């Protein structure tokens, strides 16, 4: 691709990167996801959905991270939703004044993926003038505001609103796309002109999503187009889209030449270019459509191709933060900031993504590139971005804070932010030292496509050897195996122990092993699991479940390790009429439940940083001994399968349980938590849903009263689990669907993770666990 570059600014200027901008420390900025987008007649407001609308005290939490600046909504749609002359400033007044009092610099966003209030839209010829009117009103009310983003990501918003039709006004043609883009660029120009009439020093911080498109050779023309188009927001604002620009003729051909020339003649260069980059921002176009799912196939009207995330196929890797930021600097020679850094993933991967971005920024600054800041984006998480904000499905992804319980709870990412803001390393945070999943082979879902540019992939991470391990007990059990596999999947160092290497009936041995390994935490997945046999072996059950936890907790205190241990719904008597929550007192009906209740008490009063997770009714594809496997085997043999129809439980998909437990452990959470998939069913109803999900004859699942099975231990009639501490677990039907997909694809035959011998405990002993349910073939094709 050959695109024009600007001439460098005069030597020694701030834009050249050799002045004070690169000598000042790299700043940490932040921002809550604040999109207000329109779908049909509905507006989806992330500020309302995350609860920030009613929590001004969130701002104090943001300031406590050490932020220097805060991207913050002063949105047209929120202030003047019904008429341009009817503005409600009350919410913004209180928040902006508080931000100012906290010593943060607000960066005012005037639209964020929006098309304006109800009385306008992106294709309205008056859209730009309307936003400029709003901008002037903002500047007059807050004349001290000196940083603005009038339109967030104009190119991306135009694509989603006028090319793909996801958002209002739901156009789906190229002419509408370019018109929407130019209208937003005009809105930026006019808005900044209006603001600077009030505050001449106001700065434009112009954001855009930025990535790169790889391709197989037959799709090169489309990839070249995409890689030229990605610059349009900044090219237009810097006055580059003149007749010599590769996109000028195409855009002008839609009757937009006069608007193009007006923009080029009166540009509005950003004071800071804001780069937003996500793992989905780099794409791969592949002409071999048959190699990809139907949902990934598309085309351009004359050529069919698949469009997938490059990280899922491109070898040896995608471009990543450092190279992409460097490209922006080389093109514009303007100060840069990363204005959105966020990934929806497990906790340690969120920390790794932020750390990789921060390290890339520091590396560029060391070479004289004026990268001003990195922005921890989506401070309060976000809703339904997995569906591109087209519906209210209730899908929440956490950010620096988790608001699933209605109040912000700091995650490990919050501690990472505080350390970066103080100029400290995050390498000592548990799990942070490993490479992100986007750099490892497990990222591949499709046949690898090799890059043709021969450019080395730049990745910066800390050596994995610096990680303290997670010690996992229960090497032969369902849960211990699942935690070990999750650690393999997530790149977390761990030690998996059995009774021989860690005898929990010997408190001195427990202290000795933990003293030697110095784990950052212990995940206790061992114990007595035979509920009915416990009725005749009370002492053994109590020793295995309660005394062992006491010994582990004491050993954890000695080495300052956190403790994760698991309890059961059988601590309850079943008399409740709604799902049990954490504050409900245990009243067990059987010895097993008694042992778990005692174990909870031992952990919580030990002085250890203990997290006790109550859960229930395990199912997963990788355990041949659980209810779901027994049912599938019986139905495949054509047999009937009997299950209790009078015991209500909340089944728990083990991969969900393990991943959320590990996230909470990494976050430093303590106390009681209930983790079970959302739902309450009888065992018989659960069996019917499982059978239907894998296409087996559900009529062969027969419900019976539990007394028919002759169990020695009493069971609670109703043991559904709910939570008051924030629902993290997906719905039961969602979990069953994922279980069924693995079962149907025949990927449920993973060999066991092996525990080390008691003589030698290695920090990495298990096989790699492939997380993708789609196995990539060995074919390669240059891209």
Comparing C-alpha atoms, which of 656, 659, 669, 672 is closest to residue 736? 656
Q: Which two three-digit tokens encode residue 735?
A: 């979990």
Mean pLDDT of the chain: 91
Q: How far is CA 283 from CA 35, 213, 731, in A?
A: 24, 5, 31
**Better-predicted residue by pLDDT, 521 or 6:** 521
Band of pLDDT at residue 508, cut at 50, 70 and 90: very high
Q: What is the pLDDT of residue 467?
A: 77
Strand extents, DSSP E, 27-112: 27-31, 36-39, 42-45, 69-73, 105-112
- With a pLDDT cut of 70, the percent of the chain lying above it is 91
Q: What is the pLDDT of residue 624?
A: 87
Residue 670 neighbours by CB distance under 10 Å: 18
Q: What is the pLDDT of residue 434?
A: 87
Q: What is the pLDDT of residue 462?
A: 47
Band of pLDDT at residue 645, cut at 50, 70 and 90: very high
Q: What is the pLDDT of residue 754?
A: 53
Q: What is the pLDDT of residue 319?
A: 93
DSSP 700: G
CA angle centred on 559, ends 556 and 563, rounded to 5°: 25
List beta partners, residue 206.
273
Q: Which two three-digit tokens encode residue 145?
A: 């505001």
| Residue 223 to residue 229: CA distance in whole angstroms | 10
Q: What is the pLDDT of residue 781?
A: 42
Q: Which two three-digit tokens encode residue 331?
A: 């093109």
Q: What is the pLDDT of residue 456?
A: 61
pLDDT tens for 714-744 read 999 999 999 999 999 999 999 999 999 999 8
| Residue 163 to residue 158: CA distance in whole angstroms | 7
Band of pLDDT at residue 745, cut at 50, 70 and 90: confident
| Residue 657 to residue 616: CA distance in whole angstroms | 10
pLDDT tens for 421-473 read 999 999 999 999 988 999 999 999 999 999 887 666 665 544 444 678 999 99
Comparing C-alpha atoms, which of 661, 676, 652 is closest to residue 739? 652
Find the DSSP H helices in 605-713.
627-636, 654-666, 683-693
Q: What is the pLDDT of residue 453?
A: 76
| Mean pLDDT, rounded, for 193-204 | 98
Find the DSSP H helices in 247-398.
248-251, 257-265, 320-332, 347-366
pLDDT of 165 strictly over 90: yes
pTM equals: 0.92
| Residue 562 to residue 610: CA distance in whole angstroms | 6
pLDDT tens for 110-136 read 999 999 999 999 999 999 999 999 999
Across 8-22, 80-94, 522-536, 598-612, least confident range? 8-22
pLDDT of 623 strictly over 90: no
């Amino acid at each position: 691709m050959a695109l024009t570059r600007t001439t460098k600014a005069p030597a020694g200027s701030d834009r050249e990167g050799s002045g004070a901008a690169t000598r000042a420390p790299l700043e940490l900025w932040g921002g809550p996801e604040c999109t207000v987008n329109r779908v049909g007649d509905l507006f989806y407001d992330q500020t309302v959905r995350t609860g920030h609308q009613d929590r001004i005290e969130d701002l104090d939490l943001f300031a406590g991270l050490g932020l220097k600046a805060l991207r913050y909504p002063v949105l047209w749609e929120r202030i003047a939703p019904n008429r341009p002359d009817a503005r409600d400033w009350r919410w913004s007044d209180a928040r902006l004044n508080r931000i100012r009092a906290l010593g943060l610099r607000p960066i005012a966003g005037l639209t964020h993926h929006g098309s304006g209030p109800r009385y306008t839209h992106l294709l309205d010829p008056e859209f730009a003038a309307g936003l400029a009117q709003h901008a002037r009103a903002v500047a007059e009310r807050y004349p001290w505001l000196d940083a603005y983003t009038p339109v967030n990501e104009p190119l991306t918003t135009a694509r989603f609103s006028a090319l793909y039709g996801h958002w209002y006004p739901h156009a789906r043609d190229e002419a509408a796309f370019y018109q929407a883009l130019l209208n937003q660029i005009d809105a930026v120009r006019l808005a900044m002109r209006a603001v600077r009439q009030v505050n001449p020093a106001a700065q434009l911080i112009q954001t855009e999503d930025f990535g790169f498109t790889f391709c197989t050779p037959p799709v090169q023309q489309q990839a070249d187009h995409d890689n030229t188009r990605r610059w349009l927001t900044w090219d237009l604002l810097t006055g580059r889209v003149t007749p010599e620009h590769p996109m000028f003729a195409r855009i002008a051909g839609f009757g937009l030449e006069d608007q193009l020339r007006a923009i080029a003649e009166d540009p509005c260069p950003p004071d800071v270019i804001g780069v937003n980059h996500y793992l989905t921002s780099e794409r791969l176009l592949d002409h071999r459509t048959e190699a990809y799912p139907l949902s990934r196939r598309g085309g351009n009207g004359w050529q069919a191709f698949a469009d997938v995330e490059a990280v899922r196929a491109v070898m040896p890797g995608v471009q990543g933060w450092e190279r992409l930021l460097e490209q922006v600097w080389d093109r514009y020679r303007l100060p840069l900031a990363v204005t959105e850094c966020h990934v929806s993933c497990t906790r340690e991967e969120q920390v790794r993504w932020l750390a990789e971005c921060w390290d890339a920024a520091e590396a560029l600054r060391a070479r004289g590139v004026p990268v001003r800041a990195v922005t921890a984006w989506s401070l309060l998480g976000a809703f339904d971005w997995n569906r591109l904000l087209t519906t209210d499905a209730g899908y929440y992804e956490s950010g620096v804070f988790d608001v699933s319980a209605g109040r912000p709870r700091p995650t490990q990412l919050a501690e990472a932010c505080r350390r970066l803001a103080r100029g400290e390393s995050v390498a000592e945070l548990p799990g942070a030292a490993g490479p992100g999943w986007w750099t490892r082979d497990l990222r591949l879902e499709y046949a690898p496509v090799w890059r043709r540019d021969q450019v080395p992939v730049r990745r910066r991470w800390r050596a994995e050897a610096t990680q303290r391990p997670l010690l996992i007990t229960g090497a032969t059990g369902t849960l211990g195996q699942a935690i070990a596999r999750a650690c393999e999947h997530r790149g977390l160092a761990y030690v998996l122990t059995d009774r021989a290497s860690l005898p929990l009936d010997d408190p001195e041995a427990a202290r000795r092993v933990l003293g030697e390994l110095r784990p950052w935490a212990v995940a206790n997945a061992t114990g007595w699991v035979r509920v009915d046999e416990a009725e005749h072996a009370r002492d053994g059950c109590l020793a295995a479940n309660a005394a062992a936890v006491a010994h582990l907790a004491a050993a954890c205190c000695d080495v300052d390790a956190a403790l994760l241990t698991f309890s059961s719904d059988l601590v309850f008597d079943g008399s409740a009429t709604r799902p049990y929550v954490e504050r409900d007192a245990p009243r067990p009906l059987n010895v097993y439940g008694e042992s778990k209740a005692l174990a909870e008490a031992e952990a919580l009063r030990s002085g250890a940083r203990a997290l006790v997770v109550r859960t229930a009714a395990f199912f997963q594809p990788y355990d041949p001994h659980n209810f779901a496997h027994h049912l599938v085997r019986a139905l495949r043999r054509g047999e009937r399968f009997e299950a209790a129809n009078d015991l209500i439980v909340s089944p728990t998909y083990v991969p969900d349980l393990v991943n959320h437990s590990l996230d909470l452990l990494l976050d430093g959470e303590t106390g009681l938590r209930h983790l079970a998939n959302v739902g309450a069913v009888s065992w018989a109803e659960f069996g019917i849903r499982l059978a239907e999900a894998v296409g087996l004859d559900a009529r062969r699942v027969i419900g019976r009263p539990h007394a028919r099975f002759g169990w020695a231990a009493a069971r609670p009639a109703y043991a559904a689990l709910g939570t008051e501490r924030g629902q993290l677990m997906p719905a039961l039907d969602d979990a069953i669907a994922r279980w069924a997909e693995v079962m149907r694809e025949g990927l449920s035959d993973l060999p066991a993770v092996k525990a080390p011998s008691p003589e030698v405990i290695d920090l990495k002993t298990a096989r790699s666990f492939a997380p993708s349910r789609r196995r990539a073939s060995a074919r390669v094709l240059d891209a």
